[in-house]
A = this chain, B = another copy of it.
Amino acid sequence: MSTPIPGRPVRGSKSGQPIMALFDLLGRSWALGIIWNLGTRSRTFRQLQTVCESVSPTTLNTRLKELRNSHMIESTINGYRLTKSGIEVLDLLKPLGSWANKWSDKFNQSK
User: Does A46 sit at the interface, judged by CB under 8 A?
Assistant: no
Q: How far is the CA of A20 from the CA of B88 in the complex (A)?
A: 20
- In whole Å, how far is A10's beta carbon from the nearest beta carbon of chain B? 10
Question: How many of these chains are in the complex?
Answer: 2
Secondary structure type dominating chain A contacts: helix
- Take A27-B31, A71-B106 as given contacts and tell me if A12 and B53 are in contact as well, using a CB distance cutoff of 8 Å: yes
- Take A27-B31, A29-B27, A96-B89 as given contacts and tell me if A36 and B19 are in contact as well, using a CB distance cutoff of 8 Å: yes
- Interface pairs (17), CB distance under 8 Å: A7-B104, A7-B108, A11-B30, A12-B30, A12-B54, A18-B97, A19-B100, A21-B104, A22-B100, A23-B32, A23-B36, A26-B27, A26-B32, A27-B33, A71-B106, A92-B95, A92-B99
Chain A residues engaging chain B, CB cutoff 8 angstroms: 5-7, 11-14, 17-23, 26-33, 36, 52-55, 70-71, 85, 88-89, 92, 95-97, 99-101, 103-104, 106-108
